[in-house]
Amino acid sequence: MKAIRFHEYGDPEVLRLDEVDLPQPGTGQVRVRVAATSFNGVDGNIRAGRMQGPMPMALPHVPGLDVAGTVDALGEGVETLAVGDRVIGFLPFGDDGATAEYVVAAADGLAAAPTSIPLADAAALPVVGLTAWQALFEHGDLQAGQRILVNGASGAVGGYAVQLAKAAGAHVIATASPRTRGQVEKQGADEVVDHTSGDVSTSVREPVDALLNLAPVSPDQLSALAGVVRDGGVIVNTTVWMPAPSDESRGVRGIDLYVRSDATQLAELAARVDRGELTVDIAERVPMTDLASVHTRAADGTLGGKVIVLPTLDR
């Protein structure tokens, strides 16, 4: 089968198309015929070798943490899935990913794909959807009536966070640029702060119960944002190279989020998509042979929106 792999860490040019053996599912695993994977920001850090400490892996490596596809073969002991099932999943860090025609995955890590959108588009849901869910409800303990500031709301995680927070009954304040203001308003933001026009922390008129930081701000900017969190509130930060500030004197908790796979949560997200309560937005659909270009644009800061990667060789 065809797969994109890197044999050494480095610039996007290390990504290359290889012919590899068809993987065979082991006990508790299934083989999935890949409909799509997606690009996540962490993929660039993994390829560049910046994640070797927390995420050791054998080289060559197939990237692609998200998977959407159809079960193609069952390993021993698998009873919860059948050949032909349409599934989505968040593959383990370090294992070969889904930028390939086929991938093996643990059966208990997969959830049924939403049926109301194309199967390939569902690859945009697992990693970023789970990040938003866990930030809001596991770590942020967001409740109806609370106020939340989503800094970096126009990104992929931010889009899900705004939608989920609004559905939970929270008052959502979202940062965006003039170009993306309409997008976050459509997703449910009650207030929009233009992060290009000045200091966000001075534009938030009342304290918030929770701050979700998704943007690569400076430590000083994050500290200033922490000042808008009320006493007893929480800061959840996904820019893990910069710890979330805590303030014990005010009872403000700072949490650095490391997303994990959770099939139950993923099934709930898929169900919300099918009920029309959660929108999956796709900016681009590219063949896997264009993956190096996607990594390059991400590094240059010119990649906008969620990109799904198809196991095809041509556009």
What pLDDT digit, counting tens, does each position of 48-82 carry? 888 876 677 889 999 999 999 999 999 999 999 99
Least confident of 19-33, 101-115, 186-200, 224-238: 186-200
Grade residue 22 by pLDDT with cuts at 50, 70 and 90. very high
Tokens of 143: 């409740």
Report pLDDT for 193.
84
pTM metric for this prediction: 0.94
Strands 147-151 and 171-176, bridge-based pairing = parallel
Report pLDDT for 172.
96
Least confident of 35-44, 161-170, 210-219: 210-219
Report pLDDT for 301.
83
The winner for highest mean pLDDT among 32-41, 47-56, 178-187, 244-253 is 32-41
Q: How far apart are CA 185 and CA 58, in angstroms?
A: 43
Instruction: Kindly tell me if the per-residue pLDDT of 198 is higher than 80.
Output: no
Q: How far apart are CA 267 and CA 186, in angstroms?
A: 24
Q: How far apart are CA 125 and CA 142, in angstroms?
A: 21
For residues 240-253, average pLDDT: 86
* Cβ neighbours for 130, distance < 8 A, ≥ 6 positions apart: 90, 259, 260, 261, 262, 265, 266, 269
Report pLDDT for 90.
98
**Taken in order 93, 99, 100, 101, is the CA torsion positive or negative?**
positive
Could you tell me the end-to-end alpha-carbon distance of the chain, in angstroms, rounded to an integer? 19
Report pLDDT for 201.
74
CATH value of 128-256 in 3.40.50.720, 3.10.20.740, 3.30.565.10, 3.40.50.300: 3.40.50.720
Instruction: Kindly tell me if the per-residue pLDDT of 29 is higher than 70.
Output: yes
Residues of the chain with CATH 3.40.50.720: 128-256
Instruction: Kindly tell me if the per-residue pLDDT of 315 is higher than 70.
Output: no
Report pLDDT for 273.
98
- pLDDT tens for 122-150 read 999 999 999 999 999 999 999 999 999 99
Q: Where are the alpha helices (DSSP H) in the chain?
A: 41-48, 126-133, 156-167, 181-187, 200-203, 219-226, 263-274, 291-300
For residues 261-286, average pLDDT: 96
Q: How high does pLDDT run on average in the chain?
A: 92
217 vs 144 pLDDT, higher one:
144
Report pLDDT for 235.
95
Report pLDDT for 314.
63
For residues 198-209, average pLDDT: 82
The answer to whether the peptide bond before residue 60 is cis (omega within 30 degrees of 0) is yes
φ/ψ of residue 46, rounded to 5:
-65, -50
Region of residue 40 (phi > 0: left; psi between -120 and 50: alpha; otherwise: beta)? beta
φ/ψ of residue 235, rounded to 5:
-115, 120
Grade residue 103 by pLDDT with cuts at 50, 70 and 90. very high
Report pLDDT for 79.
95
Classify domain 2-125+280-310 at the CATH topology level.
Quinone Oxidoreductase; Chain A, domain 1 (3.90.180)
When computed from its CA atoms, the radius of gyration of the chain, rounded to whole angstroms, is: 20
For residues 97-126, average pLDDT: 98
Grade residue 231 by pLDDT with cuts at 50, 70 and 90. very high
Residues of the chain with CATH 3.90.180.10: 2-125+280-310
Report pLDDT for 6.
96
